Amino acid sequence: MERTYITPLLDKLGVRPGARVALIRIDDPTIRELIAERTLDVTDSWPELDTDIVLLGVDSPAELADLATLRDRIRSSGAIWVVSRKGRTATLRDVEVIAAAKGAGLIDNKVASFSATHTALRLVIPVALRSR
């Protein structure tokens, strides 16, 4: 029996009312509309300091080069979601994202289906390294 998940996408991504969200290379009008229902603090480029959630669209390993800098822009309990194509159109493997995350001082701890064509991998600062 196949399991059906009904959790809303923004709940999966951890976007709470009033959250500070940054979208980088995300060209999905549906997600923009959903986020606008929860928060007005949305940036369509480089994130402000203390950003809660960064959605980073990537198509190649080279586009992961900014992870270390993005790490410094999120709250200690924040997250960077790496959004990439899935299935036969995938241009990036999860092991490439995980390796880049590790090099940036981040760990992966969740995967979510972002859309019918894209997947998302959540990267966070390890608890032991978070500021108090």
Q: What is the pLDDT of residue 59?
A: 95
**What pTM was computed for the model?**
0.93
pLDDT, tens digit, 9 for 90 and up, residues 43-99: 999 999 999 999 999 999 999 999 999 999 999 999 999 999 999 999 999 999 999
In the predicted model, what is the mean pLDDT of residues 1-27? 89
Q: What is the pLDDT of residue 132?
A: 66
**26 in a domain, yes or no?**
yes
Q: Are 41 and 78 in contact (CB under 8 A)?
A: no
In the predicted model, what is the mean pLDDT of residues 113-129? 94
State the total domains in the chain.
Answer: 1
Q: How far apart are CA 54 and CA 112, in angstroms?
A: 14
**98 in a domain, yes or no?**
yes
In three-state secondary structure terms, 23 is strand
To the nearest 5 percent, what fractions of the chain are helix, strand and coil? 30, 30, 40
Copy the structure tokens of residue 103.
Answer: 């090099």
Q: What is the pLDDT of residue 129?
A: 83
**4 in a domain, yes or no?**
no
pLDDT band (50, 70, 90) for residue 5: low
**130 in a domain, yes or no?**
no
78: CB partners within 8 A, 6+ apart: 50, 51, 52, 53, 54, 124, 125
- Domain containing 110 — which CATH number? 3.40.50.150
- What's the domain range around 31? 9-125
In the predicted model, what is the mean pLDDT of residues 103-127? 95
